[in-house]
A and B are shown apart, each in its own frame.
Chain A
Amino acid sequence: MNKINALIYFLAFSSGFCIMGIELLGGRILAPYFGSSVHIWGSIITVFMLSLSFGYLLGGKLSTRNPSLTKYGLIFFAASIMVVPIVLFAEPIMTFIFTHIEDSRYGSLLASTALFFIPTTILGMISPYSVRLLVTDHEKSGQVAGGLYFVSTLGSALGTIITSFYMVLAFDVNDIIKTFAAVLGALGLLAIAVSQLKTKERTVCLES
């Protein structure tokens, strides 16, 4: 496996980790306003699944137009920026919804949509885009997709367990989410930097 492919797998793993870490903390974020009844998890899981599914569509579509590692990095960068409002605006958004909607089922569904729909949709774009970047031989496309799902779902599993078993004991919810945002941003920049280096190398090769 070449280094670029290893980087893509690593990035897919990390996005899986962050998605589930954020989803898990979603329960904690909503609880003060909408309680901890079963419908809270119903709301959160629905919104995450729905936004991931839209993300898959969008990511697949985007990957058909001149796919590049730079654009891939930009998706991470966008996700990083869109995660930040969860930290900054969760309270006013939830206060507004709480005072306007009596039924905590629809309140939690709306709050969960407002907070998580956009960042999770962007994070959902990563999987299909990764497949597009990795597949060079269409006979191996299934194998590549399998490997990618393996890596990103493994990331999701680890993100879930590490966040719920250890991170909540040591850090504040907002600090953990800020860290996820920072990690996503850093990985996006890494992908862009690598992509630039690669183009430079290629131009150097061509010139000589």
Chain B
Amino acid sequence: MFRVLMVCLIMTLPFSSLAEVIHKERSLYRNILVEKTGDLLCLKFNEKTRKSTQSCMYKSEPKKLVFNYTKMTFASLLFIDNPKNVLIIGLGGGSLSNTIHELYPSAHIENVEIDPAVIKVARDYFSFVETDNVTSKVQDGRIFIKRAALKKQKYDWIILDAFNGDYIPEHLLTKEFFAEVKSVLADGGIVAANTFSSSKLYQHESATYFDVFGDFVNVVTDENSNRIILAGFETMPSQQQLAERVNKLANKLTPYDVDLQLLSEHLFYTKGNQDWPADTKVLTDQYSPANLLNYQ
């Protein structure tokens, strides 16, 4: 028994020297880890068999965004000017909120996160900034948006980022939910959803977005990564308009390692280009086996 333990200990040594766990927490929903690997600080959700990374930052360059999908979210800025009211569903380490706050200090940003422990960790380890303008609320995203609709609130940038790689809150992926999102979207506003680009779910998800928003844009910069869906805009900007926006904003985004020029070249408009079968079943509150579809 002792020898087995020793072997186990020795085997884990090289890994522990690479990534150092600096905080561990068991929340209502999951185990949360904050891991430090050299300069990189990451928030991870831990299950017995796997760890999924939610958010990371470089300690020496906290501005620089680490994940491709976070960077891709900023393709939204090719569609909107000066967002004033921003809604973020799913906080993670708070890097989106921090970046948007730096870019637009006067914008109101509301972060909605279901897990209070995630908010705490974002504050304690990831310098998540909260001010009078930047707030966070512990709530299920669906409930928040339903109440916001009752209060007739409007947002001109809505970011949906509540999926964690292997689990999908199925009530945040239905036609009814997207209709509620649409009802709190201001005129000229945009919805950006960080989501999947593989499995059978891809088709169902596309069909559902199309059903509610009409044609939308997929932002995909490399084959195996996530996609960002941009939806809710009225007209697709022309090449010239896109170029103008890139010129105007590119420098502002460089410190965050966001290459707006590159993003502008990776917008795939679905008009005349639908890559899902026409008879794909739309996901609804009545039919929403997203987690099961994700394995098919």
* A-to-B contact residues, CB < 8 Å: 28, 31-38, 98-99, 104, 165, 168-169, 171-175
A-B contact count (CB 8 A): 56
A172 to B139, CA, bound (A): 27
Contact A35 B286 (CB under 8 A): no
Given contacts A32-B177, A38-B29, contact A173 B286 (CB under 8 A): yes
Contact B150 A169 (CB under 8 A): no
Contact A35 B171 (CB under 8 A): yes
B85 on interface, CB distance cutoff 8 Å: no
Q: Please provide the chain B residues from 132 to 186 with a CB less than 8 Å away from any CB of chain A in the complex.
A: 139-140, 142-143, 146, 150, 169-171, 174, 176-177
Known pairs A31-B171, A35-B143; list 9 more (Cβ under 8 Å): A31-B142, A32-B142, A33-B146, A34-B140, A38-B28, A165-B292, A168-B287, A173-B286, A175-B286
B218 on interface, CB distance cutoff 8 Å: no
Contact A32 B114 (CB under 8 A): no
Chain A residues with CB under 8 A of B287: 168, 171-173
Write the chain A residue with the least CB distance to B286.
A172
Contact B140 A32 (CB under 8 A): no
Chain B residues with CB under 8 A of A31: 142, 170-171, 285
A37 to B162, CA, bound (A): 13
Contact B286 A36 (CB under 8 A): no
Interface centre among A28, A34, A35, A175 (most CB of B within 10 A): A35
- B281 to nearest A CB, angstroms? 10
B95 on interface, CB distance cutoff 8 Å: no
- A107 to nearest B CB, angstroms? 9
What are 22 pairs between A and B in contact, CB < 8 Å?
A: A28-B288, A31-B170, A32-B146, A32-B171, A32-B176, A32-B177, A32-B285, A33-B143, A33-B146, A34-B143, A35-B114, A35-B139, A35-B171, A36-B140, A36-B171, A38-B29, A99-B150, A168-B288, A169-B293, A172-B284, A173-B286, A173-B287
B62 on interface, CB distance cutoff 8 Å: no
Chain B residues with CB under 8 A of A34: 140, 143
- B46 to nearest A CB, angstroms? 18
Chain A residues with CB under 8 A of B293: 169
* B-to-A contact residues, CB < 8 Å: 28-29, 114, 139-140, 142-143, 146, 150, 169-171, 174, 176-177, 284-289, 292-293
A33 to B286, CA, bound (A): 13
- B28 to nearest A CB, angstroms? 6
- A59 to nearest B CB, angstroms? 32
Given contacts A32-B176, A38-B29, contact A169 B289 (CB under 8 A): yes
- A208 to nearest B CB, angstroms? 56
Write the chain A residue with the least CB distance to B141.
A35
Chain B residues with CB under 8 A of A99: 150
Q: Which 3 A-B pairs have the closest CB atoms?
A: A35-B140, A172-B286, A31-B171
Chain A residues with CB under 8 A of B150: 99
Given contacts A36-B169, A172-B284, A173-B287, contact A104 B28 (CB under 8 A): no
A104 to B143, CA, bound (A): 8
Of the residues B146, B174, B284, B286, contact of A98 by C-beta under 8 Å: B146
Chain A residues with CB under 8 A of B143: 33-35, 104
Write the chain B residue with the least CB distance to A35.
B140
A185 to B111, CA, bound (A): 48
- B103 to nearest A CB, angstroms? 31
Write the chain B residue with the least CB distance to A39.
B28
A186 to B256, CA, bound (A): 64
A165 to B146, CA, bound (A): 29
A94 to B287, CA, bound (A): 18
Chain A residues with CB under 8 A of B142: 31-32, 35-36
